[in-house]
Structure 1
Amino acid sequence: MTKIIIDIFMYLFEFMLFWNYSNTLFEPKKNTKIRFFLMLLNTLVLFTIYQFNITYLNVILMFITYSMLLFSLYNVSFKTAVFHSLIFMVVMLASEIFIMVICSMLFNDFNALENNISVYLFSAITSKLIYFAIIMAILKTFAQKESAEQTNKFFWLLFVMPLTSIMVLLCFRYITYQMKLTHFLSVFWAISCLGLLFANILVFVIYEYSLKSTKELYELKTISYQEEQDKKYYEILEQTNKEMQLFSHDIKNHLIQIRNLEDINAVQDYVDKLYPNIEHFSRIGISKNKMLDLIISKYSRLCDSKNIQFDIDVKTANLSYIDDVDLSTLMNNILDNAIEAAEKSNSKIIQLYLFSKNAMYDGLLVKNSCDFAPINKNGILKTSKNNKSFHGFGTKSIKNVIKKYNAIYDWKYDDKSKMFETDIVFSKK
C-alpha cells in the first residue's frame, strides 16, 4: 500500500512536468480543460499498467501516448511530437537506471528497491529529481531557441535547489541505513521527501511566473509609453496645424506685400524672412518614422527656444527597424547632450544626419558645437557635472541600445572646429 501511495505521487509529478513542458514550448490546439483531462487520464492509465510490473509495456505506451498527445493537443508536427516524447522516455529511463545502479552499490543488493520500501522511496524521489533537473535544462534550451528574448542567466542558479535536494536525500538515506527508524519517523521522512520533491517544482514555477509577470509589466509599460508618445505626436501635429492655419491666413497679406515690392532685392529679402517659417512646418513627418519625427520636432522646437541652429538631413534612412523605446532612449540621450554642449558654445550648432551607407548599413551622425573638449578616461566619456550619481553623458544608455542592435559606436572631438561628433553604424540585418 505504501508503494502505491509513493507511485501515485511519482506519476502526479510526471504529469505536472509533462504539462509544464508542453505548455511552455508549444502553442495549444485544444482548450485547457481538454488538454488537462486527456493528460491526466493518460497518466492514470500508465500508473495502472505500472502496478502490474510490465515495465516494457509501460515504456512503450508512454512513448506512444506522449507522442499522440503532443501531436493532437498542440500545433506541432508528428516528427516534433515523436522527438520530444523520445526525450522524455530516454531521460526518465536514464535517471532511473542511474539511481538503481547507485542503490545496488550502496546496499550491495540490486533488488534492494523491491525488498525495502525506504530504499524504494529514496530511489524514486532521487531519480525524479534528476529527471526533473534534466528536463528543465532541456526545456530552457529549446525555449531559448524558439524565442528571441535575451537569455536570463539567473535561471541556471535555480539548479542549486535540485542538486542540494539530492545531497540532502543521500545524507538522510545514509542515516536511515545506519539506524532503524520508528514507524512515525518513517512516515514523517516519506512526507518530507515528497514535500522536497514538489518544492523543487514550486521554485521553478514561481520563477517562470515572475518572469512572465515581469514581461507583461514591461509590455504594459511599453504600450503606455507608446500611447504617451502618440499623444505627444498628435499634440505637435495639432499645434503645427494651428500655426499653419494662422500662416495660411497671413499668406494672402504676404503675397500682396510681395506683389507691391518693385525691387527684386527687397522681394528676396522678404521671401528669406518667410522661409524659416515654412521650414519649421516641414519638420514634422519628414522621415515616415513617427517616433523619429516626434523626436526631431521636439528638439527642433527646443533648439529654436535656445537659439541653436538645428540642421537635419534624414532623407535616405529613418531607422524604422529599431524599437520606438530604444530609438527614443538613443536619440534623446545623444541630442540632450548635444543641446547641453551647444547651448554653452559660441557657435550654437547641432547637425543631425541619417544615411544609408549601402544596402546593409545605416549611419547616424550627430555633430554639435562644443567649446571645450569633453572629459574622457581611456576613451570613455565622463560627466563634468558636480553630482556624478545623477548626471552624465548617458553613454551607458546609449551603449545598451548599441549592444542590443549590434551597432558600432564611436565619438571624436575636433579642437580646431570646436565640434563634437557622435557616429553610430547600424546593421540592417
Structure 2
Amino acid sequence: MTKIIIDIFMYLFEFLMVFYYSDILFSEKKSRKTRIVIFLLNTTFLGCVYQLNITYLNIALMFLSYTLLFYFLYDISFKTALFHSLLFLIVMFATEIITSIIGVAFFDDFNALEKNISAYVFVTVISKLLYFSIMMVILKFLAQKESTDNKFFWLLFVMPLSSMFILICFRYITYQITLTQIMNVLWIVSCIGILFANILVFVIYEFSLKNSNELHEIKEIQRQQEQDEKYYEILEQTNKEMHLFSHDIKNHLIQIRNLEDINAVQDYVDKLYPNIEHFSRIGISKNKMLDLIISKYSRLCDSKNIQFDIDVKTANLSYIDDVDLSTLMNNILDNAIEAAEKSNSKIIQLYLFSKNAMYDGLLVKNSCDFAPINKNGILKTSKNNKSFHGFGTKSIKNIIKKYNAIYDWKYDDKSKMFETDIVFSKK
C-alpha cells in the first residue's frame, strides 16, 4: 500500500513536469483547463497500467498517449509530437538505469530496491530529480525564444543538484542504521517534499518571469502612448502657430510688394525665414522620438539665443530603441547647449546621414570657447560636484557599446568648435 501511495506522488510529479514542459515550449490549441484535465486523466490511466507490472505495455501506452496529447492539445505537427514523446521516453529510461546502478551501489543487492521501501523511495526520487533536471536543460535549449530573457535560469539547477546530493549523503549516513517505522515515514515524506519543491521553484520562476515581461510590455505601451501624446501636442501647437502665421502672411506679402528696394525685400524675407524653418523641423525625420527631441532642443536653443542647425533628412536612427535614442541625444545635446551657451558664437549643428547601405553617422558640433578637460582621451566633467556629474558620458558609452557603434570626439582650437562623431551599423 505504501508503494502505491509513493507511485501516485511520482506520477503526479511527472504530470506536473510534462505539463510545464509542453506549456512553455508549445503554443496551446485547447484551453488551459482542458489541458490540465486531459493530462490528469492520462496520468491516472498510466499510473493504473504501471501497477500491472507489464513493462512493454506501460512503455507503449506512455509513448502513444504523450504523442496524442502533444498533437491534439498543442499547435504542433505530428512529427514534432512524436519527437518529444520519444525524447521523454529515452530520458526516463536513461535516468532509471543510472539511478538503479546508484541504488545497487548503496544497497548491494538489486532486490533490495523492491524489498526495502526506503531504498525504493531513494532510487525513485533520485531518478525523478535527474529526469526532471535533464528535461529542463533540454527545454532551455529548445525554447530559444523563452531562454533569451532567462539570465538566472541555470542558477535554478542548484536546487535539484543539491537535493540529490542531500539524499545521497543522508542515505550514506543512515546506511548502517535500521530505520524505525516513524523514521521511514519521515524519510518518505521528506523525499517527496524535496521532489515537489524542485518543480515548484521552476514554476514560480517562470511565473515571475512572465509577470515581469507583461509589466515591461505594459510600461512600453504606456511610454509609447505618452510619446504619441507629446508628439501630437507639439503638432497641435505647431498647427496653431502656422495658422496664425498664415493669417499674417497676407500682410507680409503686401508689405513685400510695397517694398521697392531689393535689399529691403531680402532683409524682410530673412526675418520671416526663421519662422518657416521652425515649422519645417516638426515631423522632418519620420521618427517620432527624434522629432520630439529636435522640437525640444529647437525651442530650448531659441530661448537661449543659440543657433540650432539641423539636417536629418537621410537618416533617422529608427532601429535604435526610443529610450536609448532619448538618453543618447539628450546627453549629447545637453552638453552641447551647456558649452554653446557660454561661448561667443552660440552655435549647435546636428547632422544625421547615411554613409552607405550599412552605416549611419551622427555628427553634433557646438561652439566651445575652451578645450574640454580630458585624461588619455577620456572626457572629464568640469562641474564642481564631480560625484553628481559625469554620468552623461558614461550613459553615452553604454549605448555605444550596446549597438556596437564607433564613438569619437575632437576639439578645434582655431574654430572653437567641439565635435561628437558616432557611427552606427544598420545591421
- What is the match of residue 194 of structure 1? 192
Name the counterpart of 2:169.
Answer: 171
Label 1:412 to 1:200 Cα distance change in 2 as closer, same or farther (>3 A): farther
Q: Distance in 2 between matches of 1:402 and 1:111?
A: 65
After superposition, the Cα gap between the structure-2 partners of 1:105 and 1:423, relative to the gap in structure 1 and judged at 3 Å, is same
Q: Is the 8 A contact 2:118 2:187 kept in 1?
A: no
Structure-2 residue corresponding to 1:271: 269
Distance 2:107 2:171 in 1: 11
Query: What is the CA–CA distance in structure 1 between the aligned matches of 2:135 and 2:376, rounded to whole Å?
Result: 46
Q: Given the alignment of the two structures, is residue 12 of structure 1 paired with residue 15 of structure 2, yes or no?
A: no
Map 1:163-242 → 2, pairs under 5 A: 163-242=161-240
Residues 412 and 421, structure 1, Cα contact 8 Å, conserved in 2: yes
Q: Residues of 1 paired with 2:408 and 2:64: CA distance? A: 58
**Does 1:158 find its partner at 2:189?**
no
- 1:334 is aligned to 332
Partner of 1:115: 115
How far apart, CA to CA, are the structure 2 residues paired with 1:205 and 1:390? 42
Deviation at 1:38, TM superposition (A): 1.5
What is the alpha-carbon distance in structure 1 between the residues aligned to residue 82 and residue 397 of structure 2?
Answer: 44
Amino acid at match of 1:31: S
Amino acid at match of 2:197: A
Following TM superposition, by how much is the alpha carbon of 1:424 offset from its aligned partner in structure 2, in angstroms?
A: 2.4
- Separation of aligned partners in 1, 2:284 and 2:258: 34
Distance change (3 Å), C-alpha of 1:420 and 1:85: farther
CA shift for structure 1 position 229: 1.4
- Matches of 2:28 and 2:49 in 1, distance apart? 28
What 5-or-longer segments of structure 1 have no aligned partner?
none
Instruction: Indicate if the aligned counterparts of 1:337 and 1:393 stay in contact, CA closer than 8 A.
Output: no
**Residues in 2 aligned to 1:54 and 1:373: alpha-carbon distance in whole angstroms:** 86
Residue 225 of structure 1 aligns with an amino acid whose one-letter code is: R
Question: 2-side partners of 1:328 and 1:75: how far apart?
Answer: 40
Contact 1:46-1:58 within 8 A present in 2 as well: yes
Alignment correspondent of 1:246: 244
CA offsets per residue over residues 308-328 of structure 1, 9 Å max, x none?
221111111112222322322
- Give the partner amino acid of 1:146: K
Aligned to 1:352: 350
Distance 2:412 2:373 in 1: 14
| AA partner of residue 30 (structure 1) | K
Computed over aligned residues only, the root mean square deviation of the Cα atoms, in angstroms, reads 1.9
1:26-425 → structure 2 map (5 Å cutoff): 26-143=26-143, 145-147=144-146, 150-425=148-423
Residue 235 of structure 2 aligns with an amino acid whose one-letter code is L
Q: Flag the 1:322–1:43 CA change in 2: closer, same or farther, 3 A.
A: same
Question: SS of the residue aligned with 2:305?
Answer: coil
1:393 CA drift (Å): 4.7
Cα deviation for residue 102 of structure 1 reads 0.9
- The CA deviation at 1:177 is 1.9
Change (3 A) 1:412 1:53: farther
Counterpart-to-counterpart distance in 1, 2:331 and 2:172: 61
Q: What amino acid sits opposite 2:122 in the alignment?
A: F
Deviation at 1:150, TM superposition (A): 4.2
Q: Deviations over 1:326-350 (max 9, x none)?
A: 3222222222222222222332222
When normalised by structure 1's length, the TM-score is 0.94
Describe the SS at the equivalent of 1:394.
Answer: helix
Aligned length: 427
Q: Is the 8 A contact 2:11 2:43 kept in 1?
A: yes
TM-score normalized by the length of structure 2: 0.94
